Amino acid sequence: MKTIYRKISIVTLALATLVLFTNCEATRNANNSQKGTVIGAGGGAILGAILGNNIGKGGNGEIGAVIGGVAGGAAGAIIGRRMDNQAKKIETEIPGAQVERVDDGIVVTFDENSGVYFDTNKYNINAKSMVTLDKLTGVLREYPDTNVLVVGHTDNTGADAYNMTLSKQRAESVTTYFTTTKSLGAGRFTTNWYGEQSPVADNNTAEGRAQNRRVNVVIVPNDKMKNDAENEANKG
């Protein structure tokens, strides 16, 4: 299981492609707590992790507002520690998922090789995927002071309009599983979809298409975590 850390220098969301990668466990060779003290720019690196070079295409609304900016100073360090702990918990509970600590958030990517996948042309949650989502549900319950963005993608097989609808249905199925089946608070969740427009691998190969058929679950601090961190920092 690899957790990827990205230390970002960002001017705008559209320039979110300058990234330093380190492959490691959730707390090895990277200190996101320290990064929080010096990074104060927008959260565009998370968009880059979800969409690659395709920021701004597709979807049902602005996801930048959900992601928010990156906290700086002592409060950012506190948030960083909390999100580090959550990322480590996710990779421990779900060893097949790809977990990335990006800015203040956590990007969890599921594809056909990592625990949450859909049968061809289907969008229902199958039994194997339920097991993985149940584990992630447990982590989300343990760390309630976060918001969650669910984003669906497809490969380029089939018509663009069909793929956009399919990615929407798949992303909504994941969100519905969390909020209805597992009774997590619906107010924490936002759902988005990009069809075939945001590939992360080569659609000319079977392996690449399998990687592109994916769902991202993005976990970010909510206002309560931010306020609590500010209060704790001010007491210090």
pLDDT of res. 94: 93
- In which order are the strands placed within the sheet that holds 3-8? 19-24, 3-8, 98-102, 105-110, 215-221, 146-152, 189-193
Is 204 a residue whose pLDDT tops 70? Answer: yes
pLDDT confidence band for 62 (50 / 70 / 90): low
Provide the pLDDT for residue 236: 64
Looking at residue 108, its pLDDT comes to 96
Q: Dihedral angle at the C-alpha atoms of 177, 156, 50, 137, nearest 10 degrees?
A: 20
Residue identified by tokens 């075939």 is: 196
Query: Above 80 in pLDDT, residue 1?
Result: no
3-8 and 98-102 strand pairing? parallel
Q: What is the mean pLDDT of residues 52-78?
A: 72
Compute the average pLDDT of residues 95-120: 89
What integer is the mean pLDDT of 126-153? 96
pLDDT at 56: 53
Task: Give the C-alpha separation, 143 to 131, whole Å.
Answer: 19
- For residue 193, the SS3 value is strand
Please provide the distance, in angstroms rounded to a whole number, between the alpha carbons at the two ends of the chain: 36
Q: How far is residue 198's CA from residue 205's CA, in Å, rounded to a whole number?
A: 16
User: Which whole-number Å values give the CA distances from 164 to 108, 174, 235, in the listed order?
Assistant: 21, 16, 48
- The total number of structural domains that make up the chain: 1
Where is pLDDT greater, at 150 or 12? 150
pLDDT of residue 43: 55
Q: What is the CATH number of the domain that holds 129?
A: 3.30.1330.60
pLDDT, one tens digit per residue, over 160-184 is 999 999 999 999 999 999 999 999 9
pLDDT at position 23 is 36
Range of 228's domain?
3-235
